[in-house]
Every structure is written in structure tokens, then in C-alpha cells.
Chain A
């Protein structure tokens, strides 16, 4: 099977915005190992393109998030949440391969890099 065919199958595995389990089981039972690897990769790519990851320091910050604003910036994307306490405060949004950092951890790292670049 070509890559294009695999990509089309991956797209067809979705009903609406969610993965259809029955379709996936039927397709995977018919695939060779090599094609299966490409199919899984295509599904992962699709997931990445159609979702954004919001990383917050703690679950309690979820209520502070303005979901309306986020949906306006990233329409038609599924929102996934994860926590990373090292952010201290702020937020990190990962959309496809771009990361948008609005957190204290990143600012502190930038300060360190800035000082290192200035002084011997």
C-alpha cells in the first residue's frame, strides 16, 4: 500500500472527530506489519494536527483558563490537558509542532541564557 492510501485509510477511520473503534479493528486485521506501522503513524499525525495540548502547573488552574479565547485561536481542535509542576505558574500550549510558552519556567530559562550570553 502507498503512503497516500494509508493516509486516506487513517482519515476514513474517524467518524466526526473521534476514532471509530470498529473501523480501526477491521482495517488493522487486514494490514501487513509494514502497513500497520505506517497506519499508526498516520493516526498519530492526524491526532497531533487536530488537537492541541495545554500544559498547566496544576489541575486547579483549569478553571482559570479562558476556553472561549483558546477555541477562537484554535478552532475545530480537540483540547487535551496535562500538568507539569515545573512550569511554576503560567501555561504552555503545544499545537502541532509549535510550542507557545507563557510560563515562569521558560522566562527564568531565558534569563539564564541571556545572562550567559552577556557575560564571560
Chain B
């Protein structure tokens, strides 16, 4: 079977079940955008370099341009459209952590996974996580402030 032959791909995205007819060679990013209309994940480089297409697969951030849709079968995919009032979204708004907004969905998904999985993240860990995404408008300082504010809230609610 060639990579261009189409098949039925069952996907779970944002808690909803979908069945998509797509090529086996189609990336998850392409299927999310072109089949499901979920255009929050952005095609910034299609090479895994910029992070604008970041989504969560079973709570782990992945670059959806670097993975095939068929690899997401049986996993739970969360895109920016699936976040509902996540603290990181408000923090990005309040800290002016974006301008043009194009890298924002990827940054937010990555940062969301960080604060959820590692609420006590140290500075080097924050850096390690977020260096995978590129932003050209902000100075990154605003994004750092947004992420740290959510971590601080998490800390405070724990204490």
C-alpha cells in the first residue's frame, strides 16, 4: 500500500470522536487543520523547528507537523480549541504574552502541559520546555512572566 492511499482514521480530539478519511502520509497537523477545521495549530515551518503546531497527545506536547495522523490512533489529542478557561490562557492575556498571536496556540499548549505536569518547575526546567517554540513579537520575558504566574498560583493553592 503506498503512502498516498487513503484509509479511515479514528481520532479522539478534544474529547470528541472523529473518523477521518485521509492519506496514511498525512500529518496530524494537516488532518487537524484541513479535515477537522481546527486551525489553531499553525504550520510555521513543517519541520519541527518552531513549535507553532504544538498539540497534546495523552497530555504530552508534540509537534503535530512531525507526526502522522495514523500515529494518533488510540491516543487522546488536545488542541488549543480544546482548552476551556485554562489558567495559562488568562495568564497570557493578562501578561501581554503575545502580539500577533500566531505562535500563541503552540506556546500555550506547551506551557499548559508544563504547568499541569510539573507544577514545581524550576527555571531551567521552564527553559528546557519552552525553548522548543519561537516567538518573534514578544521578548519572551512576557511569556516567562505568564508561565511563572500560573506556577505561583499552583504553588499558592497547594500551600
Co-complex (A, B) = no
